[in-house]
Amino acid sequence: MRLAEGIQKQIEIYRLMTGAQRLCIGFELYETAIAICHAGIKRPYPDWAEREIKAELVTRLRDAATRQAVTE
């Protein structure tokens, strides 16, 4: 299956889902992104306390949102 076919198939699957199911997927994607970002911060700073990691995570998310708002 080619990429375009795979994307089309995924769209078809999403269309068969309820709004609640799609929302659940969105939340899961968000949680996965947060976990990846958390790990990306912790790796170079293994001695940081959890509060420091979370503060950096919030800063990165805020900065990313600001950059996106500026480019729109």
Q: Distance of alpha carbon 57 from its chain centroid, rounded? A: 12
Total domains in the fold of the chain: 1
Please write the tens of the pLDDT for every residue from 36-55. 999 999 999 999 999 999 99
Structural domain for 14, as ranges? 3-71
* φ/ψ (deg, to 5) at 46: -65, -20
- DSSP annotation of 44: T
| Single pTM value for the model | 0.74
The predicted model gives 3-29 an average pLDDT of 96
* Inter-residue contact 38 to 57 (CB < 8 Å): yes
Token pair 């306390």: residue:
49
